[in-house]
């Protein structure tokens, strides 16, 4: 739940945040629900960006003319040309309609600051952000799976209690503060890894660990609970009774059953991941979409704000869809009778 909002993990076990899997009986329905969400994202981002545009101080026509032709080459006539061309003399409702219809045609316009097409910038940044997100999820699994399974196999044991304490402490450190601490220790004091930027694979390590640790703080507990439940289930005892070895029971039954809540939980963490990407990219000067968004807000480059926010929003929807489908893949019950995952 509080997962949904900003960047700290869920706390109350209320199904939360866009996990509409109780409605997605078929793949088609899942696609339709996420498609609707995508349209909603585009509308919200578009309208917000339009309002931002209107809220800019000064005359938009002059500003755009200056951006196009340079401050020295621009005059009243060129501003009027721009005004007529872009329909800036129309009523705001007509302008909003134009704005949204341009968005519907995937015309994201040009950066107000650099003059380059927003689409080109995003094409480069998206790859960087996806790389970071993948690194973060990988890092979080590397932390959460061993710790969670070890804790879940012996509830109340030493590993369980230690990892609970660690998880509580880690969750209280926001991403950017964790990033600062890791930079201070590993990049500056120990001089093991680069501080920031993007050149080689070693630049990926610190930002991924920052994000991964934050994600693992909560997901290790989800893994732990899932394993505890699977171990306590009757079918686990049955498969032991019928003669399967501990190892076989573990891999064939326990881990597969435990995987479902864990994968579903990755879906819950997606909001957290996207938000984390925005912040962590800024901390580590990672040339991705989140960094570009923050930079664009700072420099009031509104077309860029719109493009990057839209891409992040759609990325969020797309990843959610992947999780929906993955849950169906793991749990055959969700496919059969329109029943859905154990998050009911």
Partner 1 sequence: MSAHRARPQAKRPSLDGGRILGLTLLGLLTLAAVVGPDLVGQDPARQSLLEALQGPSGRHLLGTDHLGRDMAARLLSGAQLSLFLAGLSTVTAALPGTLLGIVAAWFGGWPDRLLTAFADAVLALPGLLLVLMLAAISPGSWWALYTGISLTLWVEYFRYTRQRARVVLAEPAVEASQLLGIGPWMIVRRHLMPEIGPGILTIAAFGAATAVTAVAALGFVSVGIRPPTAEWGVMMTELLPYWRESPFLILQPVACLFMTVLALHLSVGGGVRP
Per CB under 8 A, contacts with partner 1 among 152-181 are 155-156, 160-161, 164-165, 167-169, 171-177, 180-181
Considering the complex, state which of residue 17 and residue 79 has its C-beta at the smaller distance from partner 1. 17
Which among 45-53, 92-100, 112-120, 128-136 is the span making contact with partner 1, rule CB under 8 A? 45-53
319 binds partner 1 (CB under 8 A): no
Under DSSP, the state recorded for 185 is I
13 binds partner 1 (CB under 8 A): yes
Site for partner 1 in 201-240 (CB under 8 A): 218, 221, 225-226, 228-229, 232-233
Considering the complex, state which of residue 81 and residue 300 has its C-beta at the smaller distance from partner 1. 300
Residues 344, 339: Cα–Cα separation, whole Å: 8
Select from 122, 137, 117 the least CA-distant residue to 277: 137
94 binds partner 1 (CB under 8 A): no
Compute the least distance from the CB of residue 18 to partner 1, in Å: 5
Compute the least distance from the CB of residue 185 to partner 1, in Å: 10
Compute the least distance from the CB of residue 295 to partner 1, in Å: 9
88 binds partner 1 (CB under 8 A): no
Angle CA(337)–CA(341)–CA(344) in degrees, nearest 5? 95
Considering the complex, state which of residue 67 and residue 261 has its C-beta at the smaller distance from partner 1. 261
Compute the least distance from the CB of residue 64 to partner 1, in Å: 18
Q: How would you class 247 by CB atoms within 10 Å of its CB: exposed for 0-12, middle for 13-18, buried for 19 or more?
A: exposed
Angle CA(65)–CA(71)–CA(76) in degrees, nearest 5? 50
Contacts of 48 (CB under 8 A, 6+ apart): 309
Site for partner 1 in 323-342 (CB under 8 A): 339, 342
Considering the complex, state which of residue 74 and residue 286 has its C-beta at the smaller distance from partner 1. 286
Compute the least distance from the CB of residue 181 to partner 1, in Å: 7
Compute the least distance from the CB of residue 33 to partner 1, in Å: 10
| Number of residues this chain uses to bind partner 1 (CB under 8 A) | 79
Contacts of 240 (CB under 8 A, 6+ apart): 246, 249
Compute the least distance from the CB of residue 241 to partner 1, in Å: 19
Considering the complex, state which of residue 129 and residue 228 has its C-beta at the smaller distance from partner 1. 228
Compute the least distance from the CB of residue 77 to partner 1, in Å: 31
Residues 259, 159: Cα–Cα separation, whole Å: 20
Considering the complex, state which of residue 44 and residue 134 has its C-beta at the smaller distance from partner 1. 44
Considering the complex, state which of residue 70 and residue 165 has its C-beta at the smaller distance from partner 1. 165
Contacts of 94 (CB under 8 A, 6+ apart): 87
Residues 222, 210: Cα–Cα separation, whole Å: 19
Select from 325, 321, 305, 293 the least CA-distant residue to 129: 293
Residues 218, 33: Cα–Cα separation, whole Å: 27
Residue length, the chain?
344
Site for partner 1 in 261-280 (CB under 8 A): 261, 270-272, 274-275, 278-279
> What are the CA-CA distances from residue 180 to residues 6, 174, 185, 283 (Å)?
19, 10, 9, 8
Terminal CA-to-CA distance of the chain, rounded, Å? 15
Widest Cα–Cα separation across the chain? 87
344 binds partner 1 (CB under 8 A): yes
Q: Which of 25, 68, 240, 300 binds partner 1 (CB under 8 A)?
A: 300
Compute the least distance from the CB of residue 207 to partner 1, in Å: 14
């Amino acid at each position: 739940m509080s997962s949904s909002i900003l960047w700290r993990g869920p706390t109350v076990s209320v199904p939360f945040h866009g996990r509409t899997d109780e409605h997605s009986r078929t793949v088609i329905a899942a696609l339709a629900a996420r498609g609707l969400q995508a349209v909603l994202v585009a509308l919200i981002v578009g309208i917000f960006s339009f309002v931002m545009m209107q809220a800019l101080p000064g005359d938009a026509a002059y500003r755009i003319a200056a951006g196009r032709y340079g401050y020295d080459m621009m005059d009243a006539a060129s501003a009027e040309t721009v005004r007529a061309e872009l329909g800036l003399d129309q009523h705001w409702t007509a302008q909003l309609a134009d704005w949204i219809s341009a968005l519907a045609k995937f015309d994201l316009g040009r950066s107000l600051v650099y003059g380059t097409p927003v689409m080109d910038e995003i094409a480069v940044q998206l790859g960087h952000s996806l790389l970071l997100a993948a690194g973060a999820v990988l890092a979080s699994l590397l932390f959460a799976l061993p710790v969670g399974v070890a804790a879940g196999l012996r509830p109340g044991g030493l590993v369980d209690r230690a990892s609970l304490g660690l998880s509580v402490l880690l969750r209280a450190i926001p991403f950017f503060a964790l990033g600062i601490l890791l930079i201070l220790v590993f990049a500056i004091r120990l001089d093991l890894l680069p501080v920031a930027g993007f050149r080689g694979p070693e630049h990926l390590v610190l930002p991924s660990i920052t994000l991964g640790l934050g994600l693992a703080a909560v997901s290790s507990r989800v893994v732990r609970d899932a394993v505890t439940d699977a171990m306590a289930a009757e079918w686990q005892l049955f498969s032991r009774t019928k003669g399967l070895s501990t190892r076989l029971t573990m891999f064939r039954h326990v881990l597969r059953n435990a995987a479902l809540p864990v994968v579903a939980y990755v879906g819950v963490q997606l909001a957290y991941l996207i938000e984390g990407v925005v912040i962590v990219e800024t901390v580590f000067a990672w040339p991705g979409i989140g960094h570009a968004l923050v930079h664009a807000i700072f420099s009031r480059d509104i077309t860029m704000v719109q493009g990057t926010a839209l891409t992040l929003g759609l990325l969020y929807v797309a990843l959610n869809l992947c999780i929906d489908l993955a849950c169906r893949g793991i749990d055959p019950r969700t496919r059969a009778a329109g029943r859905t995952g154990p998050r009911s």
